[in-house]
Structure formats: C-alpha cells, structure tokens
Amino acid sequence: MEEDKFLPLGDQLEELTKEFLALKERNSAMQKVIQKLKQEFEMIKISTHTPRYMGITNGHAWVQLWEGGPKFATCNIGANQPWEYGGRYTWGGTYAQIEGTYKDDYWKEDATFPSDRNIATISWGEEWRMPTKEELYTLLQKCGKGKWVDNYNGTRIKGRLFKGKGKFIEQELFFPATGYCNGCNFYDVGASGNYWSCVPNDCNNACFLYFNGSNSHMSNYNRNFGLSVRAVLNE
C-alpha cells in the first residue's frame, strides 16, 4: 500500500500563506465593490429626494434659477466654459461670424425661424433651443439686472452674474460681456453683452437681452448683427 505523501511543513506554510493572501485580496476587492454600491445607492437617494437645480443634457451643463423657470445653459453656444465668449450669430443665422469676414445669413421672414435655423438646436441637438423673449425678460424680473463683475473667477472676463432666488439661492449664471458683430468688425467686447432671443420684433429687428456695466434690459437689434446665444433646455 502506497504511503500518503505529505508536503514538508515549510511548503505547507508557504501554500497556506498564498491562499491567505489570495483570500485577503479577493476580500479587499469585494469591499471596494460594496463601498461603490453604497455610494451609488446614496446618490440614487439624493437624486430621488432632491430637486434638480442643475444637470447635464447632451454633454452641456444647465442651471435653473427660480421655481418653474427655464434651465439655462451655463455657457454660450460655441463656448466650452462659462467665461468663454463663444460665437456671434446673426438672427436665425447658422454661421459664427469671424472678424474681418461677414456672412449675410440672417433669417429675413416675419415669422420666427424654423428649428433648422435655430443655432442652439443645430449646435447641441433637439434637447436645446434659443430662449424666448419672455424667458430672458423673466430672468431680469426674477433675478434683477445681475451683478456686474470685472474678473469672473480670476479669468479677467467681464460680464453679469445672475443669482438664483429662494431655494435656488446657491445657483448662479454668468453671461460674459461678448460685445457684438456689425459687418466685418466686433465692437464693445468686454463692455456689453448682447444675447438673442428667438422672437422677431418686425421684419428687420429681433428681441435680445442687452447689458453693460450699469444696466440690463430687453431691446431690439437689426437681425444682421452678430450677437451671442445662450441656450435653454427644450422641455
């Protein structure tokens, strides 16, 4: 009868050590999985019970400043950061005007332009659109004229900062002073902000939000001027 073979004590200890370390490693990995699941569960609870005042849609961040208000993008069309100017577009135009080169592509009809001429929808998808005159006007009614800042977050960019109201008090929205384009030239960059609405005023003009260092109000501009666009969620 063949005798049972036993590993030397040293080899047994080495094997047990390997098994112990492998088990410890698996346990550590399992603990990480459990911790991640706990974190995800907490996030689900937060998102379930906390109203959404900010978010990201189709890769672009938005913020809401008052109850029932529109969800404004945090940066301009053509920009990637809140302090970047982005493009300047004629009303209903789809071409970002370049200094020294002007493209006459504004919408010349009396009615509001169709979605295929809405630069917000074209640039960011159907989830986004240009704001209405009423939405921009209500921004001024709800949040005031905004605070003029000379150096937004250390970027040296000037513009107006709007603060949320009520339970939205911690939210803010910055509009850089982008100036405007008239023909081949840019004017008032750093001195005024000019933001189109999607609403026409007459056959030659359209409604827009204007601000400078001392005031903010709604006005009308010739459609062939190049202004900035701040999109809102299309809900």
pLDDT digits (tens, 9 = 90+) for 59-89: 999 999 999 999 999 999 999 999 999 999 9
Q: Total structural domains in the chain? A: 2
Q: What angle do CA 157, 160, 161 make, to 5 degrees?
A: 105
Burial 72-95 (b: 16+ CB within 10 A, else e): bbbbbbbbeebbebbbbbbbbbbb
Place of tokens 């605070």: 147
d(CA 103, CA 106): 9
The answer on 64 and 39 residing in a single domain is: no
The answer on 121 and 78 residing in a single domain is: yes
The answer on 68 and 170 residing in a single domain is: yes
Tell me what pLDDT residue 43 has. Answer: 55
The answer on 59 and 28 residing in a single domain is: no
The answer on 131 and 108 residing in a single domain is: yes
The answer on 141 and 128 residing in a single domain is: yes
* pLDDT single digits (tens) 95-138: 999 988 888 888 988 778 888 999 999 999 999 999 999 999 99
* pLDDT single digits (tens) 1-28: 445 556 676 666 777 777 777 777 787 7
Tell me what pLDDT residue 9 has. Answer: 67
The answer on 59 and 44 residing in a single domain is: no
Tell me what pLDDT residue 48 has. Answer: 46
The answer on 166 and 92 residing in a single domain is: yes
Domain containing 120 equals: 54-233
* pLDDT single digits (tens) 138-179: 999 999 999 999 999 999 999 999 999 999 999 999 999 999
In angstroms, the first-to-last Cα distance of the chain is 84
The answer on 61 and 31 residing in a single domain is: no
* Contact criterion met (CB below 8 Å) for 89 and 95: yes
